Structure 1
Amino acid sequence: MTISLFSGQGSQYEGMGKDIAESSAQLLKVYETGSAILGRDLKEICFSAPLEELSRTVNSQPAIMATSIICLEAAKEKGFTFEGVAGHSLGEYAAMYASGMVTLEDAFRLIKARAEAMEEATQGTKGAMAAIMKIEPEKVEEVCANAKEYVTAVNYNSPVQTVVAGTPEGIEEVSGIFKEMKARVIPLNVAGAFHSKLMQSAADKFYETAKTITFNAPQCKYYSNVTGGELTDFSDMASLLAKHIVSPVRFTSELAAMNEAGADRFVEFGPGRTLTGLVKKTLKEATALNVENLETLAALFQ
């Protein structure tokens, strides 16, 4: 069983998706659709914006989603098929599009509302994030629970990689403790404490747009960050997606559920190889590939 995976925020880089998108007039239309909804030139943001500008939440979220969708559509043009989808954080929006749950237009409407609400929330509330490596998630949770300042586990990426989010003081406090425990601590270059309660104002604001969108039943298996498994109830996606903004990404659980269902081939679409690396670390027997340019697209069919 083949699963299509979709990258999250932080994977962006200048010029991402350019060679694949320019290989087909049809693929370039994805940017046109996005630009019309965003009210600015999405192709220009992806191809030419300096990294600092591209990394702003309001730019990186639609840009990464567009790149992921273009990479997937390029593979589908060549005959690629898949039985399930999963995204990491922001990647869930490309996954919803890939599964047929939302139209391309609605995917852009959702991501515009999400990115704007999250950027606004980070301006009102200071937050920070850090990746904690070489230590079990249970130990990470324990340290966070005992911290004086607010900090919590928000991304369960692999059995030995957990991302924490909280106030800058909270992140500083636990970082010192983790280093004493011989863990590796990597501060993340993000604007806020994503997937924590510090994003509640963003979740509330985003919900107002999400509840106006029509969600269809997916045409393949759909795995959710919030539940950590295959989603079977699609009756209130607006609430689930709002909850997603303030809930942990249970990616390790999702991989286990996919593996149990028979998934043995994972293809990550979009910038970078973060998810490909996580699959290789977590599921040693599985095949993991990524598609982000013409070279990796060709490798998918070798």
Structure 2
Amino acid sequence: MEKTVFLFSGQGSQYPKMAEELINSSPKAGEVFACASDVLGFDLKEICLNGTAEDLAKTQVTQPAIMATSLAALACIRERGIDASAVAGHSLGEYAAMVAADMLSMEDGFKLIKARAAAMGKCAESGDGAMAAIMGLSAQEVAAVCEETSGYVLPVNYNSAAQTVIAGERAAVAKASETFMSMGKRAIPLAVSAAFHSKLMQPAADEFYNAAKSFAFSQPKLDFYANLTGTKLTDFSDMAEYLAKHIVSPVFFTSELAELQSAGYLNYVELGPGKVLTGLVKKTLKDVTALNVENAKTLEKTVETLTN
């Protein structure tokens, strides 16, 4: 049987009503949102189904909303008899991946993401950071432009051979983006509130570490591929330190994909809003199947593809 990995969407993939069809597809998907709302202290389902894009863009809402949508998609596909032997998430997606691999209960997963979102939201409000996706250049070329730009800006998300995300001070990101556009390349501002995965988030990492220390993490039941190393994670002895470092460190997603392919994974199923990771898989790997589950239609297509 072909090996399957579940991929979990990252921040910036949210959109209004994103979980509506999943909730209507399975009571278990609705239970995910009920669990999240109990932990968060507000009705996450109501915001996801009836809130505006601006409502969903607030970090304290965005992170649990994307995680809940991802776990709702997970519930739907598992209900249809499909599972994976590995998980990987892009940035925020690692939290859904931890729940999927039974490293954390769903309730603890939402408690952890609540603490993370609060710390990152506070840091975002006190800072002036930004992020942008640079298209059509190698990571090395992107890094070279960042080095020549005054102010603090650097590559932080290595998404594919032709897409690297930069982060840093808002003015420096804008200046670097102008340079990329003058080179005839696209520089797309991301719908995020801060310079994630950069040193500008260190106050959030410090605050979150203290919160994360109180959680008990189990050994994963599925192979867990990590942003921080770009490889399969084997040391789970201090996940609080790992997750704090994760907030201020680059995401080596292209390395993760290469490692997964080397390990024999042929089916890549993105669970959560949008299909950003599905697109990155298609751009990065050859001779693999990339699918996504974000609504009833994509659920049916994915189940049909994987069972035939």
Q: Scaled by the length of structure 1, what TM-score is found?
A: 0.98
AA of the residue aligned to 1:271: P
Write the deviation string for residues 186-205 of structure 1: whole angstroms up to 9, x where unpaired: 12222111110000011111
**After the TM superposition, which of the residue ranges 223-232 and 141-150 deviates more from structure 2?**
141-150
Name the residue aligned to 2:153. 151
TM superposition shift of 1:32: 1.4
Counterpart selection for 2:33 from 24, 31, 34: 31
Name the residue aligned to 2:172. 170
Instruction: Output the CA distance in 2 between the equivalents of 1:178 and 1:14.
Output: 31
Decide whether the 8 Å contact of 2:28 with 2:76 is kept in 1: no
TM superposition shift of 1:37: 0.9
Name the residue aligned to 2:275. 273
Name the residue aligned to 1:193. 195
Instruction: Output the CA distance in 1 between the equivalents of 2:26 and 2:192.
Output: 33
Q: Please, which runs of 5 or more residues in structure 2 have no aligned partner? A: none
Counterpart selection for 1:254 from 256, 268, 287: 256
**After the TM superposition, which of the residue ranges 190-199 and 12-21 deviates more from structure 2?**
12-21
Instruction: Output the CA distance in 1 between the equivalents of 2:26 and 2:258.
Output: 36
Alignment of 1:209-224 (within 5 A): 209-224=211-226
Aligned residues: 302
TM superposition shift of 1:174: 1.3
Question: Identity of aligned pairs, percent?
Answer: 54
Instruction: Output the CA distance in 1 between the equivalents of 2:173 and 2:21.
Output: 39
AA of the residue aligned to 2:193: A
Name the residue aligned to 1:89. 91
Instruction: Output the CA distance in 2 between the equivalents of 1:180 and 1:169.
Output: 17
Name the residue aligned to 2:286. 284
Alignment of 1:1-302 (within 5 A): 1-302=3-304
AA of the residue aligned to 1:169: A
Decide whether the 8 Å contact of 2:198 with 2:248 is kept in 1: yes
Instruction: Output the CA distance in 2 between the equivalents of 1:259 and 1:29.
Output: 34
Q: Matched residue of 1:182: which SS?
A: coil
TM superposition shift of 1:182: 2.7
AA of the residue aligned to 1:250: F
Write the deviation string for residues 132-182 of structure 1: whole angstroms up to 9, x where unpaired: 110010111122123220001111000110000011111122122222333
Instruction: Output the CA distance in 2 between the equivalents of 1:138 and 1:198.
Output: 22
Q: Please, which runs of 5 or more residues in structure 1 have no aligned partner? A: none
TM superposition shift of 1:206: 0.8
Decide whether the 8 Å contact of 2:228 with 2:249 is kept in 1: yes
Q: Matched residue of 2:265: which SS?
A: coil
AA of the residue aligned to 2:82: F
Instruction: Output the CA distance in 2 between the equivalents of 1:24 and 1:298.
Output: 13
Aligned Cα root-mean-square deviation (Å): 1.0
AA of the residue aligned to 1:251: F
Instruction: Output the CA distance in 1 between the equivalents of 2:178 and 2:297.
Output: 42
Decide whether the 8 Å contact of 2:28 with 2:72 is kept in 1: no
Instruction: Output the CA distance in 2 between the equivalents of 1:73 and 1:176.
Output: 43
Instruction: Output the CA distance in 2 between the equivalents of 1:7 and 1:223.
Output: 14
TM superposition shift of 1:55: 1.3
AA of the residue aligned to 2:109: A
Q: Matched residue of 1:19: which SS?
A: helix
Instruction: Output the CA distance in 1 between the equivalents of 2:86 and 2:266.
Output: 11
Decide whether the 8 Å contact of 2:205 with 2:248 is kept in 1: yes
Instruction: Output the CA distance in 2 between the equivalents of 1:79 and 1:66.
Output: 20
